[in-house]
Structure formats: structure tokens, C-alpha cells
Chains A and B, each alone.
Chain A
Amino acid sequence: MNNVTPDRMLLLKTFLGLMQRDLRVLSREIGPFLLRVGMQPLLFLFVFTFVMPHMAGGSPMATTGVGFGSILLPGLMAVAIMFSGISAVALPLSTEFGITREIDDRVMCPAPVAVVAIEKIVFSSLQSMLAALAVIPMAMFIPATPVYPDLHRWWLLAIVMILSSLLAGAMGLAIGSIVSPKHIGLVFSIIVVPITFLGCVYYPWAYLDKIRWLQVAVLFNPIVYISEGLRSAVTPQVHSMPVWIVLPALVGFLYFLVRFGLRGFLRRVIS
């Protein structure tokens, strides 16, 4: 019992152990996982870029000159990221914190408690990235006019995806540790729905210039930077917020949400 492994090694092993546990649980739930991440973008693309153009009047954004599909692609990726982050962290956390206190055994692992929370964020960010990438092939095959992402700036895509996915996980952590299990269902209607509808998902931020107050108000919504960042990465033909604003904003929101989420988590597990 006295062979002391160097602490850093143990920390890494603990972290990987936690990741493997989550992977195991996810692998049992692969069907629901795919439905969860796939259904929304699938239906959205089908209705707005396939069904609508076939109806009289064409697509709702026909007048802008850019296909609605191109506007929708980064937006749907942003929603996928956000949605995965919240369902992969906030929902399980709220049950694990609940009467079953299932999180206890992980909290008792030989690492600082924050590691357990950070693992949750990292694991959920992997799911978010998969969910976002899954939107790309859908956009190529479903719409009446296929949408091909421009992957020339793949490095920007990678940076935005990583930051956004971590941000979504951190938001899930914050929500999961603050909202009681009883109210977790409400989270979707009072947080997720508003921030996606007002997150420049279905319209670029620039188009809001006619409604100035709204254009300013949505700047407090982190989803805006996810959508706009992805927009400048995959659909550069659509006008988007400059990268030098998007990236610092993503980093700032990420920092704030991680701090806030960790504090809530620690408060829940250590009394």
C-alpha cells in the first residue's frame, strides 16, 4: 500500500477512468444519443430547405441572395453543440445530485473534486463536436439546393468548435449544479429555447441591424458567438461577425461559465 505513484500520473489515470466510465454509459445509450443529436437538424433542414422551397413563394429568406440553407448550416451546428452540452451534462448531473447521490463515488476519487466536473465538460464537448459534425452531411444531402461547407479555413473551424463545445459543457455544468432535479425540465423552455431562438441561429447577426436594440441585446448571449464563429468558418460567403470579436468573446464566456459552474458543483458536493 505504500507504493506511491507520482500524483500527476494518478490524476491522469483518474481522469481517463472517469472518461471511460462515461463512454461506457454512452455506448449503452447510443440509439437515444443519435436521435437526440440528429432529430432536430434533420427536421429543420427537411422542412425549411426541402419542403418550403417546393411550395409556392420559395424559401423564407429567398430575397437575400444567399440560400437559407447556407445560413442554417452553421446555426444548426451551433444548436447541436449547445443542445448536446446541456443534455450531456445538465440532465445527468441533476439526477446524480438528486436523491440517489450517484455522483458520490466519483467525487471520492483520489483527485481534486474539480477534476470530476472538468471531466464532465470535456466528455460532453466530444459529444457536442460529433453532433455538430453530423449536421454537415445532412446539409449536403437534404436541401433542395445542397449546401457545401467551405472548409478552407479548417483551423478556424477547429478552434471555434473546441471553444464552443467546451462552452456548452460548462453551461451544462452551471445549469446542472444550480437547478434542482425537480425543475430541470423547465430549463429547456426557459433557457435553451430562448437562447437558441435569439442566438443568431436562423439569421446572421448582421441582419439584425434594422432592430438595433435587439442586435445589442443578443450580444450577451453566448450562442451568438458560436453561430457567428461557425458562420465565418464554414460559410464565409455569408456576412458574419469578425473573428477578432468572436474568439475573445468565446474565451470570455468559457472562462466565466467554467468558474461559475465549478463553484456551483463544489457547493453541491462539499457541504
Chain B
Amino acid sequence: MRTWPHFQGVRTGVWYTVIVEIEALTKVYEGKQRVKAVDGIDLSVQAGEIFGLLGPNGAGKTTTISIATTRTLPTSGTVRIAGVDVVRHPAEARRLIGVVPQYNTLDRSLTIYENIYYHCRYFGFSHGQARERSDELLTQFLLAERRKAYPSQLSGGLAQRVQIARAIAHRPTVLFLDEPSAGLDPQSRLAMWTAVQQLRKEGITVVLTTHYMEEADSLSDRVAIVDHGRMLALGSPQKLKETFGAQTVIHLALRQMDQVEALAAGLRGQAGIQNVEVVSDGVRVFSTSSEGLLQELVHAAAPHGLRDIAIAEPSLETVFIQLTGRDLRE
């Protein structure tokens, strides 16, 4: 067991171990089409952890983060940051949070250095403090050489780094990262992961959203899987795998789908196979392991025009498929 650091609430003076507390949160966008973007989410993020919100496009991740960061008003429910209600006291809540939104929102009229410097000024730093903090962050994030560049001159990875540096410049208690690795090349993504892990060492709590399995898996202490605005599961990646997805998922793509029900029924009884689902282009087989099973599967599926086999080892991916009956990418 880790022991979590404690934080004192700004308003209350009480010490907190729960930094983000979301209760019965809902958000309905009224419009031509009524969208229930968040549909009853409850969760709490402990001080010092890296918390992942994992879900497909449109799951409600951004909406949840926007509410927690005071940019969107909830339809019902509450969010508290270290005890501060974000709807009732947004200005105070903003002192406790840092945000890296899904899109690049760097100030185009300012240089990299100035983006961080003025951010510090907005948070009440004096000229000297702001200058010192900006220099420190530019060095820490390996941006010192680009300090005079403008945001439009930066690559996606660099811009993302500036955004993170800016977001933590006022020393927030919790940092929200919305899809931090979207649009980054693998190398920049790794650099971003290292940066996030470094933040945790400095005691900053991190909440990130992602639809990359590996990111949630390798970076987060705990993961909440969300879909259609609801939370489907919550736990450490390890625990989620043990609870829901200690299974290998074998996807058999078929040319002929007319006899597919018979194939599924035939497979269901076999040793080592826990479940079989018919999907749009074939069948999905859930098993304890793929060892020894493949040959039988190929044999059984061949008459149906087997054209492809995909094997997913136990991972958050298989957990997700298990929970939603869908692939994250579908």
C-alpha cells in the first residue's frame, strides 16, 4: 500500500486525501438533439495518484473534465476539488487546478516564455517570481532554446509540452490532461509520459483522459472506464484485468456469415472457450488462453471463409470489449 500525501483545503483548512470528488454528475446538452453527455458519474481521485478516464469518442470524458475545471456547468451533481465546490466557488477552484485542454490553446500573440510568464502573473506572482518560475519550467521541459518562439512555430509535441508547463506553473494541486497524447508521434508520447510521471513525483495529482489503452494501462494508478456518459468499471489496471478481462479475445473474420450462428454454437461447448459472440464480420471468442486453441478455431472456421484472425492478449482492451461488447476503435 502507498500512503497518499495530504492536502489542506484552501477554504476549509481541513486536510484532504481525496482531491477530486465527483458525485452523481450529469450533463445534458439541450439542443436540436438532446445529448446526455454525462449520465451519473461518481468517483474520487486520491491525492498523489495518476487517474485515467478511459473511453471511446463521445464517452463524455471531455465534458466531465470541463465540469471539474469550471468550464461547463453540470446539469446536476457536484464536483469538489480539495473540498471546494467548482460551481459555487469557481475562482477558488481554479487556483487548485491546472488544465491542458484537448486542443492547443496557447496564446498566439505571446512567445513561449511569455505564455508561462503571464500565466504566473494571472495567478498573482510578482514579476520576479514569474520570471524565475518560467525559466525553471522552460529548463525542466527542455524548452529553453525555444523561449522566444511563437506557438504557431511549434510542433504538436512541443506545443503540448508548453501547455503542460503552463498548466502547472502556478503549482496546482491537481492537473487535468485531456487526451494529452492525441496527435503526438510515439516519441513525443513517451516524453509526455515521462513528464507526467515526473509530476507525480513532485506530488501533483494527475487526472488524464485517453482512448489509448496502453496509455491508461502503463501510466495510471487507477482507471475508470466510461462509455455513453456512464462509468462501467473502476480500479487499478491490474485489478480490472483480473475482474473483467482475464481472457484472451480471438477475433475471427469470416467471408460467409450465413452459418455463423451454428459455428458459434459449436464453439461454445469446447474446452478452454468461455464465451463466443457473433459480431458484424465474424465471431469473437473469449478464452483463458490462446494456447492450443488456435488450430481448432482455424479448423472450425475454415468452411465459413476465414479471412483473418486477431488475437488480443489480456489487457484493458479486452476488458473494454468485455464490458461494452465493442472495440474501442469501432
Cβ of B124 and Cβ of A21 under 8 Å apart? no
The residues of B that contact A104 with a CB separation of less than 8 Å are 71, 101, 105
- Within 8 Å by CB of B90, from A4, A20, A112, lies A112
Q: Which of A13, A14, A20, A108 has the most CB of B within 10 A?
A: A108
Any B CB within 8 A of the CB of A10 = yes
Q: Cβ of B73 and Cβ of A108 under 8 Å apart?
A: no
Given contacts A14-B123, A20-B121, A270-B72, contact A102 B108 (CB under 8 A): yes
Cα–Cα distance between A27 and B115 once the two chains are bound (Å): 16
Say yes or no: A271 contacts B110, CB within 8 Å: no
In angstroms, Cα B107 to Cα A104, docked, is 9
Q: How far is the CB of A122 from chain B (nearest CB, A)?
A: 16
CA–CA, A106 to B110, complex, Å?
A: 13
Given contacts A10-B124, A269-B71, contact A105 B10 (CB under 8 A): no
B73 touches A271 (CB 8 A): yes
Per the bound structure, the CA–CA distance linking A21 and B111 in Å amounts to 11
User: Nearest-CB distance from B75 to chain A (Å)?
Assistant: 11
Write out, one digit per residue, whether chain B residues 62-76 have a CB within 8 A of any chain A CB (1) or not (0): 000010011111000
Instruction: Write out the residue numbers on chain A whose beta carbons fall within 8 Å of the beta carbon of B70.
Output: 108, 270
**Cβ 8 A contact of B73, one of A7, A20, A24, A270:** A270
- Please judge, given known A-B contacts A1-B171, A101-B105, A102-B105, whether A108 and B121 are in contact too, CB under 8 Å: no
Q: Mark A107-119, 1 if CB is under 8 A from B, else 0.
A: 1111111000000
Question: Is the pair B122, A18 in contact by a Cβ cutoff of 8 Å?
Answer: yes
B90: A residues at CB distance < 8 A: 112-113
| Interface size of A in residues (CB-CB distance below 8 Å) | 33
A9 within 8 A of B: yes
Chain B residues with CB under 8 Å of A100's CB are 104-105, 108
- Judge whether A102 and B118 touch: CB under 8 Å: no
A58 within 8 A of B: no
Asked if B123 and A110 sit within 8 Å, CB to CB, the answer is yes
Residue in B99, B101, B118 whose beta carbon sits within 8 Å of that of A17 in the complex: B118
Q: Which residue of B lies closest to A9 (CB)?
A: B124
- How many residues of B are counted as interface, with CB atoms below 8 angstroms from the partner's CB atoms? 35
Question: What's the Cα separation between A76 and B79 when bound, in Å?
Answer: 52
Q: Which residue of A lies closest to B173 (CB)?
A: A1
Beta-carbon contact of A24 and B114 below 8 Å: yes
Q: A245–B101 Cα gap in the complex (Å)?
A: 49
B84-96 vs A, CB cutoff 8 Å, 1 = contact: the mask equals: 0000001110110
Most buried by A among B71, B73, B103, B114: B71
Q: Closest Cβ of chain A: how far from B183's Cβ, in Å?
A: 15
Asked if A271 meets B105 with Cβ closer than 8 Å, knowing A14-B122, A107-B71, A110-B94, the reply is no
Given contacts A102-B108, A105-B107, A109-B123, contact A20 B91 (CB under 8 A): no
Does B105 lie within 8 Å of A21, measured CB to CB?
Answer: no
**Is A25 an interface residue when CB atoms closer than 8 A count as contact?**
yes
Q: Does residue B80 face the partner (Cβ distance < 8 Å to A)?
A: no
Asked whether A102 lies within 8 Å of B10 as measured between CB atoms, the reply is no
The reply on B259 being an interface residue by CB < 8 A is no
- Cβ–Cβ contact B91 & A110, under 8 A: yes
A113 to B107, CA, bound (A): 17
Measured between C-beta atoms, what is the minimum distance from A21 to chain B in Å? 4
The A56-79 residues at the B interface (CB cut-off 8 A) are none
Specify which of B10, B91, B99 is in contact with A111 (CB 8 Å cutoff): B91
* Cβ contacts under 8 Å, B7 to chain A: 1
Greatest chain A CB density within 10 A among B99, B114, B124 is at: B124
Q: Mark B271-296, 1 if CB is under 8 A from A, else 0.
A: 00000000000000000000000000
* CA gap between A28 and B149 in the complex, in Å: 14
- Nearest Cβ on chain A to B76's Cβ, whole angstroms: 16
| B106 at interface, CB cutoff 8 A | yes
**Complex CA–CA separation, A137 to B176 (angstroms):** 53
CB-CB contacts below 8 Å: B109-152 with A: 109-110, 114-115, 118-119, 121-124
B8 interface residue, CB < 8 Å from A?
yes
A17-B123, A105-B106 given. 11 additional CB < 8 A pairs? Answer: A1-B7, A17-B118, A20-B121, A21-B114, A21-B118, A100-B108, A101-B105, A105-B115, A108-B69, A112-B90, A270-B72
